[in-house]
Amino acid sequence: MTSIQHPVLLEELRRITGPAHVLCDGDLSAYTQDWRKRAQGKALAVVRPASVEEVAAIVKACAAAGVSLVPQGGNTGLAVGSVPDESGTQVVLSLQRMNAVRAMDAANLTITVEAGCILQSLQEAAEKAGFLFPLSLAAEGSCTIGGNLATNAGGTQVLRYGNARDLCLGLEVVTAQGEIWHGLSGLRKDNTGYDLRDLFVGSEGTLGIITAATLKLYPQPAARLTAWAAVPSMEAAVTLLGLAHRHLGAGLTGFEVMGQFALSLVDKHFAQLRVPLFKEAPWCVLLENSDHESETHAREQFERLLETALEDGCVSDAVVAENLAQAHQLWHIRESIPLAQAEEGLNIKHDISIAVSRIPEFVEATDALLRQHIAGVRLVNFGHLGDGNLHYNVQAPEGGDAQAFLRDREEEVNTLVYDSVARFDGSISAEHGVGSLKTDKLATYKSLVALSMMRAIKAGLDPQNLMNPGRIVRL
């Protein structure tokens, strides 16, 4: 690309969206720095279209100029995939202004929304109509459904409702050539060849731009009850999960595990949250029971489950939230772990998945390995145990220089953890995606056959390599 093309392209972008929506000057850090502040990029421009036609025109203009695009929703992603690189030659395409609810079909149990719709607004629109949109994660106040689909986000309800992919029935996409694929089907059955929708879900902006989606709705449960249990070991937590599946069936909508050190950080930095039971137990579990009959029924089910678990010995103590406020407080504790960790200092994050049955063995082996290599290492382990997904994070030794720890030991720590994940046939990215943080790791831990098919898909759909280049796979 020659510099002379910049003014021509910028003029064209201004013509498409109106000059107010092409940002080139001033503080653009909200668009160019990632949520964890691990990367600070530079954009040629940030462009904010208002319609699918504008997105298509922008993509065509950038393709003609040979300029690459970084699609962006709420910029809450944790894999450094939503911000431009440092070259100053990429255009950030923000979907923020495309946030309308286009349609709701009560009989078909579907809602159609634009990609920039904030997840919480979508949940609220569903609730207002008497339905549940179950995708739920701590960033829901600012992440967008387009970003959720592009990263195939998980969150706390995957156990019952699946991840973003499972909730999506149709997509509208602008391809790398600037064509519009009208795939907003609300069909639950459609076996007419390759599943293009599933190709774009989880593609992190590398294949095209998601501009709208048709999503599944569910009936609101009559009651949602939350319990908090102290468990003597990770093995006991897995036993409790099995009991919970048997006792609660489809009512089991949440099963989160939290290590004692993770909870001690919440206690240290947010003492007002009053973390229950963690001092007596190495692990605590948060369970959620969503019942379609009544609160009384949900409570009886929970009591039977916890009695059995206490008798079995897989639970040493437990509390059931008395009301909604207490339930929110328990969830708030769980969701405060990443913030408490950030308060404690920089840390090395891993978002991994292992078959649930092998998690106790994995944790024991990997903890031992890290302690053997790094004296005083502190392990902040928590996550969605019901989905086999752990946030297996590593904090510098107490009183150590966290910045130096990251600089000097991150690569070694990552290799120890990811090699262990590979030995247990797990995944190095359960729900946060690959972004640019893990592109090199993917090249190590994914099979050559899988990588070659992924490159073929990328080359086929984006031969100019202009859609979020350098993320997931390099051509």
Provide the minimum distance between the beta carbon of 148 and ligand FAD in the complex, in angstroms, as a whole number: 4
Nearer to ligand FAD, 216 or 438 (CB): 438
d(CA 379, CA 362): 14
By the criterion CB under 6 A, which residues form the site for ligand FAD?
35, 70-78, 81-82, 95, 115, 137-139, 143-144, 146-148, 150-151, 153-155, 204-205, 209-210, 338, 431-432, 435, 468, 471
d(CA 275, CA 230): 11
Nearer to ligand FAD, 68 or 301 (CB): 68
In b/e form, how buried is each residue of 123-161, taking b as 16+ CB within 10 angstroms? Answer: bebbeeeebbbbbbbbbbeebbbbbbbbbbbbbbbbbbb
Write the DSSP string, 349-405: --EEE--GGGHHHHHHHHHHHHHHHSTT-EEEEEEEGGGTEEEEEEEPPTTS-HHHH
Nearer to ligand FAD, 143 or 266 (CB): 143
Cβ proximity of 127 and 148 under 8 Å: no
Provide the minimum distance between the beta carbon of 357 and ligand FAD in the complex, in angstroms, as a whole number: 22
* Cβ atoms within 10 Å, residue 228: 25
d(CA 352, CA 379): 14
Residue 114, token pair as written in the block: 């634009």
Provide the minimum distance between the beta carbon of 212 and ligand FAD in the complex, in angstroms, as a whole number: 9
Cβ proximity of 186 and 105 under 8 Å: yes
Nearer to ligand FAD, 110 or 353 (CB): 353
Q: Nearest-CB residue to ligand FAD?
A: 147
d(CA 316, CA 231): 6
Provide the minimum distance between the beta carbon of 310 and ligand FAD in the complex, in angstroms, as a whole number: 30
Provide the minimum distance between the beta carbon of 337 and ligand FAD in the complex, in angstroms, as a whole number: 10
Provide the minimum distance between the beta carbon of 103 and ligand FAD in the complex, in angstroms, as a whole number: 18
Nearer to ligand FAD, 213 or 314 (CB): 213
